[in-house]
Amino acid sequence: MTVESYGFDTLAIHAGQEPDPRTGAVVPPIYQTSTYAQDAVGAPRLGYEYSRSGNPTRDSLQECLAAIENGRRGLAFASGLAAEDTLLRTVCRPGDHVVIPNDAYGGTFRLFSKVAERWGLDWTAVPLDDIDAVRAAFRPGHTRLIWSETPTNPLLNVNDIALLAGLAHEYDALLAVDNTFASPYLQQPLAFGADVVIHSTTKYLGGHSDVVGGALVTADAGLGEELAFHQNAMGAVNGPFDAWLTLRGIKTLGVRMDRHCDNAERIAAYLSEHRAVAEVLYPGLETHRGHEVAAKQMSRFGGMVSFRTAGGPEQAVAVCNRAKLFVLAESLGGVESLIEHPGQMTHLSAAGSALEVPADLVRLSVGIETVDDLLADLEQALG
């Protein structure tokens, strides 16, 4: 099943999810098994030997992931960071160099600065929306990868995927795009020249805050094979029940994202007029510096909204603590609305570095509740 033959919502519901040939079950079974009986020595049935190497439920998810990102190969992992680590150790070697965003997700920064750096991987953080800065950071012969998030977490900056892909390929490097904030419903980086798409499937793809997972999708079959080899060799795969939950979430991704976007647009407009708010960070606002690029590569602008409080860091923390309907919690992309203080929560690992986020920043993951109720909660929280 491909984008050329079916629409997005059809792929989300059907790709990799044909009725079970034995029973006719419409929903793919959960193959909760660690190993498989083989027909003879050296003749595993349908290629299944051991569930780290292959599992039918995970295979269904992987086929669906490839279809909705319009890629050739999809791979599912135990978490988004497991997917990131597998990608880095597949395409990089000790002594290589990676260009990363200067506003990357805190967990990604920790992976580079505390783990990959000790393995011998060097990195430089630059604003990826400044193509001259990206070019200046390149080390020909050593820079193997540009690592992009768009929109970024939590500052919601927007990077031009096609421009970054062209620059990466000019230097025989790769472009990886973390598409978690946008989801495949709103943005498909492979169509703009990216080599690999990364997801924390915990977020919008799962969509219900009940499963942790990650994914890689690539357009190149050869790169897909290399990633699959490392997926098995490193072993950070998700289990069959986690794969099943993620598949269930993907079925409603399109309809959920429409509501996430509807609600986020209303909330961004409301915050833009509020006296207690100094700045609203949302690509859907025409005042956002990345609005034109976002409009070019996204169908809508997503459910994530960040803002800076007029009263400084103390007010930002107070707003988070006063919220009632918005749940004070890390993560994002679920049906329920969440609020957090990135500086002391999701991005604490970047404190004291060049990637430290403003202390007056509040991040909202706007859910699919009745938007008037969300607006009323923000009104009382902002005081």
The catalytically annotated residue of 105, 185, 204, 282 is 105
For 192-258, the DSSP string reads GT-SEEEEETTTTTT-SSS---EEEEES-HHHHHHHHHHHHHH--PPPHHHHHHHHHHHHTHHHHHH
Backbone angles phi, psi at 38, to 5 degrees: -105, 145
> Which residues contact residue 9 at a Cβ distance below 8 angstroms, ignoring those fewer than 6 apart?
254, 255
- Which member of 59, 103, 129, 178 is catalytic? 178
Buried b (16+ CB within 10 A) or exposed e, 367-378: bbbebeebbebb
Q: How confident is the model at residue 3 (pLDDT cuts 50, 70, 90)?
A: low
Report CA 56 to chain centroid distance, whole Å.
Answer: 24
Name the percent of the chain lying above pLDDT 70.
99
Cβ neighbours around 33 below 10 Å, total = 14
Query: Which among 6, 52, 248, 262 is annotated as catalytic?
Result: 52
Q: What is the pLDDT of residues 175-224, one digit of tens each?
A: 999 999 999 999 999 999 999 999 999 999 999 999 999 999 999 999 99
Does residue 377 have an active-site annotation?
no
270 is catalytic: no
First-to-last alpha carbon distance for the chain, in angstroms, is 51
User: Residue 355's pLDDT is what?
Assistant: 85
pLDDT in tens, 82-100: 999 999 999 999 999 999 9
Q: Per residue in 336-361, pLDDT tens?
A: 999 999 999 988 888 888 889 999 99
Q: Report the C-alpha gap between 132 and 269 in whole angstroms.
A: 32
Q: Catalytic annotation on 36? A: no
Of 110, 144, 203, 256, which one is the catalytic site residue? 203
Q: What angle do CA 4, 10, 15 make, to 5 degrees?
A: 80
Answer yes or no: 93 catalytic.
Answer: no
- Read off the pTM: 0.96
Measured in whole angstroms, how far is the alpha carbon of residue 269 from the centre of its chain? Answer: 25
